[in-house]
Amino acid sequence: MLKIENLTAHYGAAQALFGVDLDVGKGETVALVGANGAGKSTLLKCLMGLVKPSGGRITLNENDVTNSSPAKMVRLGLALSPEGREVFGELSVFENLQLGAIPLKLSKGEEAARIEEVFVRFPKLRERHKQLAGTLSGGEQQMLAMGRALMAKPALLLLDEPSLGLAPLITDEIFAIVHQLSRAGTTILLVEQNAARALSASDKAYLLANGKMVEQGKSSELLNDPILRAAFLGAASEENPAASRLGAAGLTNIRLEKPDMTQQNFMPAFSSEEELKAHQLAGLKWTLRHAYEGSADYREKLDDAGITPDSIESFDDLRRLPFTTADDLRDGYPFPLRSVPFEQIVRIHASSGTTGKRKVLGYTQKDLDDWTDFFARCYQMAGVTPLDRVQVAVGYGVWTAGMGFQLGCEKIGALAVPVGPGNIDMQIQFLLDFQSTVFCSTASMALLMAEEIHKRGVADKIAVKKIIYGSERSSRSMRKKISELFGGAELYDITGLTELYGPGTGIECSEHDCIHYWGDYYILEILDPDTLQPVPDGEWGEMVVTTLCKEAAPLIRYRTRDITRIIPGRCACGSILPRHSRIKGRSDDTIKFRGVNIYPSSIDTILSAVPGVGSEYQIHLSRDDAGRDHMRLVAERAEGVAAGRANELIHEIHHQLKKQLLVSVDVELVDYASLPRSEKKSQRVFDNRIQDEIV
Ligand code: ZN
């Protein structure tokens, strides 16, 4: 429709446009983007006949209109909503609109009809039709300027800097109208400094700098062009010559509103197993020296084992290092394993422990940055993008969980909905209202939500595509059920523990048959929990971890008690990151029940404080058809206690468990000496929750 070819323009001796080309097709919205002084206004003025071009050609519907008068251009169907609005402040809104129709010599009826159309599009102008235009807000004046231009029913609407000087919210409103006009088929040439706005509101765009077109193309592609984004966002530098070029062209004062997260990569830099091993050896050496020099506890332990900071020469020397256990953490309460001065610690987190002292871990800023980076890697591996909306339904606060999910989410630039755990009604409402695309929770919470979604029949009204769940074991059947009831969402098991930063130390990939773990942040050994000797790759054993760059509380051969196995070889997904199976269980008796860690020793303590109850007991864990976990405690009456007291004792045990462990337990009381005794440690925990294969 509009074609500008090789256009040049001068102001006196100064050249303002240098051979500019531009095309606008019928029905298109085309953006002309450039910094202040780039030549945008000159181009518009040439187009409107206000400035005489010194060369080139302008055609409108294949007629040469170069050097036409402004009046002729208006008659040919061009209408301008000028920069700075230029409304007549002493006239009313209504009168300003009438002025827009004057050159067209409309009948009274036609004029009224067109004003009515403008009022339909801009209800605010109807509300204020008698008000003097000079008393309107900036946003309302912009609407008036656009409305006045629309009075001409233009073939081509020229919008010059519609967002200039407006608050972001008002800009939103103006651009919503630009979108509407565009959808209604109005042909628009949009001239804007705000590149992000202009690009997202247009079909194609031209970037003008110092009077020259420096870039043109589809707006959606330009919006994602890494060089342009770097130029818009980054400072010019030697490393970023493209930014220098565009920067010199005056484009760096154009700001996109969100950095381009799609260009970010959180995968590790190493490209072979040898490189990873070399990185791990260097990290191991660093960690040993750091812990030895920074922590009196570590030094004592290492001295006892005859280890000095120089003891590590090869990877095999790792086996000579002493283990660190949960007891070391509890003994060191409140700041165990602290290896940096307090002034370097910026945060603490604690594990959920129901007995004894909690495990408290300190973090330096670098620790938090590392955690954030590899949590972002988790999201990346699960295919989460900046366009996702991530509903985080795990605990916030002193627990690491919520924080990790939040930090990683912000790092990749997705929208976080930090709800926290529980609160099913609110969760469902947010899934519906915010159309969250990723749901993060424990496995049992995910199941609970899945059932609720099913019960309310809203599976087809939610937008969840991925569920990232962790901290509990899950079986294939449970995963299948969650996925189905969530309308076919894909599940990603995420691993982690507070001692090792928090959640996010590994995640399932799109192949869904392994956990990739971050070998560039920690070394993983799989040991036989009894002999503490390594098991061959592929065999189950206890996961033992050694950190490679953790500052505040480094871990040296920390016994996680989680049971898993190494999966040798490269994954079909193509990632070079090493992998292990989903966590199968624990090498101690810790029970994970409805998200709470319970140590059997705490049940010992509670039972022994109830007079009339014996010391033997069994815990049976089961999962009902609905997927809900249940705990049944079988205890004995103490010797000589009458069977008639059973109800009273059951009530008391139930009450104490609820009060101290915050869990509801079915209690059964049996005769004295009816539970089996064993010379060795008797089996007290019977976990029947998972019947089928875990991995
Ligand atoms: Zn994989």
**Ligand 1 center–CA 513 separation, angstroms:** 8
Contacts of 475 (CB under 8 A, 6+ apart): 690, 691, 692, 693, 694
What's the confidence (pLDDT) of residue 399?
Answer: 84
**Ligand 1 center–CA 99 separation, angstroms:** 66
**Ligand 1 center–CA 575 separation, angstroms:** 6
What six digits make up the tokens of 682? Answer: 């008797």
- Looking up tokens 């209690």, which residue turns up? 667
**Ligand 1 center–CA 594 separation, angstroms:** 29
Task: Assess contact for 246 and 252: CB atoms under 8 A.
Answer: yes
Q: How far apart are CA 448 and CA 393, in angstroms?
A: 12
**Ligand 1 center–CA 570 separation, angstroms:** 8
The whole-chain average pLDDT of the chain stands at 87
- Count of C-beta atoms within a 10 Å radius of residue 432: 15
**Ligand 1 center–CA 536 separation, angstroms:** 21
Q: How far apart are CA 617 and CA 635, in angstroms?
A: 4
Q: What is the pLDDT of residues 612-659, one digit of tens each?
A: 888 778 899 988 877 788 999 999 898 888 888 889 999 999 999 888
**Ligand 1 center–CA 579 separation, angstroms:** 8
DSSP secondary structure code for residue 501 in this structure: B
**Ligand 1 center–CA 510 separation, angstroms:** 6
Task: Assess contact for 537 and 568: CB atoms under 8 A.
Answer: yes
**Ligand 1 center–CA 444 separation, angstroms:** 25
pLDDT band at 609 (very low <50, low <70, confident <90, very high): confident
**Ligand 1 center–CA 576 separation, angstroms:** 8
**Ligand 1 center–CA 225 separation, angstroms:** 29
What secondary structure, in 3-state letters, does 612-637 show? CEEEEEEEEEEECCCCCEEEEEEEEE
Average pLDDT estimate for 398-403: 88
Cis upstream peptide for 334 (omega within 30°): yes
- Provide the CATH number for the domain formed by 591-687 in this structure: 3.30.300.30
Q: How far apart are CA 658 and CA 664, in angstroms?
A: 6
Average pLDDT estimate for 547-553: 96
Average pLDDT estimate for 387-411: 92
**Ligand 1 center–CA 581 separation, angstroms:** 11
Q: CA separation (Å) from 334 to 326, 348, 691? A: 13, 10, 39
**Ligand 1 center–CA 525 separation, angstroms:** 19
CA quadruple 251, 253, 255, 259: dihedral sign: positive
Q: How far apart are CA 123 and CA 350, in angstroms?
A: 55
Q: How far apart are CA 510 and CA 144, in angstroms?
A: 52
538-559 b/e with 16+ CB inside 10 Å = b?
eebbbbbbbbbbbbbbbbbbbb
What's the confidence (pLDDT) of residue 364?
Answer: 95
Average pLDDT estimate for 57-75: 90
Q: How far apart are CA 497 and CA 524, in angstroms?
A: 13
What's the confidence (pLDDT) of residue 353?
Answer: 55
Average pLDDT estimate for 174-179: 88
Looking at the predicted structure, is the pLDDT value of residue 695 above 50?
no
**Ligand 1 center–CA 406 separation, angstroms:** 24
**Ligand 1 center–CA 685 separation, angstroms:** 34
pTM exceeding the 0.75 threshold for the entire prediction: no
Q: What is the DSSP string of 125-137?
A: HHHTTTSBGGGS-
**Ligand 1 center–CA 545 separation, angstroms:** 21
Looking at the predicted structure, is the pLDDT value of residue 533 above 70?
yes
**Ligand 1 center–CA 391 separation, angstroms:** 24
Residue type, 326: A
Q: What is the pLDDT of residues 557-598, one digit of tens each?
A: 999 988 899 999 999 999 999 999 988 777 776 777 877 777
What's the confidence (pLDDT) of residue 587?
Answer: 74
Looking at the predicted structure, is the pLDDT value of residue 325 above 80?
yes
Looking at the predicted structure, is the pLDDT value of residue 667 above 60?
yes
**Ligand 1 center–CA 285 separation, angstroms:** 29
Q: What is the pLDDT of residues 70-91, one digit of tens each?
A: 888 888 889 989 888 888 989 9
**Ligand 1 center–CA 577 separation, angstroms:** 8
**Ligand 1 center–CA 518 separation, angstroms:** 12
What's the confidence (pLDDT) of residue 257?
Answer: 43
**Ligand 1 center–CA 479 separation, angstroms:** 18
pLDDT band at 59 (very low <50, low <70, confident <90, very high): very high
**Ligand 1 center–CA 383 separation, angstroms:** 12
What six digits make up the tokens of 114? Answer: 């067109």
**Ligand 1 center–CA 239 separation, angstroms:** 33
Task: Assess contact for 516 and 571: CB atoms under 8 A.
Answer: yes
Long-range contacts at 120-124 (CB < 8 A, ≥ 24 apart): 121/147, 121/150, 121/177, 121/180, 121/181, 122/146, 122/147, 122/177
**Ligand 1 center–CA 517 separation, angstroms:** 10
Domain boundaries, the chain: 2-219, 591-687
Q: What is the pLDDT of residues 481-512, one digit of tens each?
A: 899 999 999 999 999 999 999 999 999 999 99
What six digits make up the tokens of 400? Answer: 């690491």
Which superfamily does CATH assign the domain made up of 2-219 to?
P-loop containing nucleotide triphosphate hydrolases (3.40.50.300)
Task: Assess contact for 133 and 93: CB atoms under 8 A.
Answer: yes
Looking at the predicted structure, is the pLDDT value of residue 252 above 90?
no
**Ligand 1 center–CA 377 separation, angstroms:** 13
**Ligand 1 center–CA 598 separation, angstroms:** 32
Q: How far apart are CA 571 and CA 567, in angstroms?
A: 9
Q: How far apart are CA 288 and CA 111, in angstroms?
A: 84
**Ligand 1 center–CA 424 separation, angstroms:** 32
Q: How far apart are CA 441 and CA 451, in angstroms?
A: 14
Looking at the predicted structure, is the pLDDT value of residue 236 above 50?
no
**Ligand 1 center–CA 507 separation, angstroms:** 9
Q: What is the pLDDT of residues 259-313, one digit of tens each?
A: 455 668 899 988 899 999 999 999 999 999 999 999 999 999 999 999 999 999 9
Contacts of 608 (CB under 8 A, 6+ apart): 615
**Ligand 1 center–CA 511 separation, angstroms:** 6
**Ligand 1 center–CA 409 separation, angstroms:** 21
**Ligand 1 center–CA 490 separation, angstroms:** 15
**Ligand 1 center–CA 495 separation, angstroms:** 15
**Ligand 1 center–CA 514 separation, angstroms:** 7
Q: Of 118, 150, 117, 155, which Cα lies nearest the Cα of 28?
A: 155
CA quadruple 146, 147, 148, 153: dihedral sign: positive
What six digits make up the tokens of 451? Answer: 């059932």
Q: How far apart are CA 397 and CA 417, in angstroms?
A: 15
**Ligand 1 center–CA 380 separation, angstroms:** 12
**Ligand 1 center–CA 221 separation, angstroms:** 30
Q: What is the pLDDT of residues 86-138, one digit of tens each?
A: 889 899 999 999 988 887 788 889 999 999 999 998 999 999 999 999 999 98
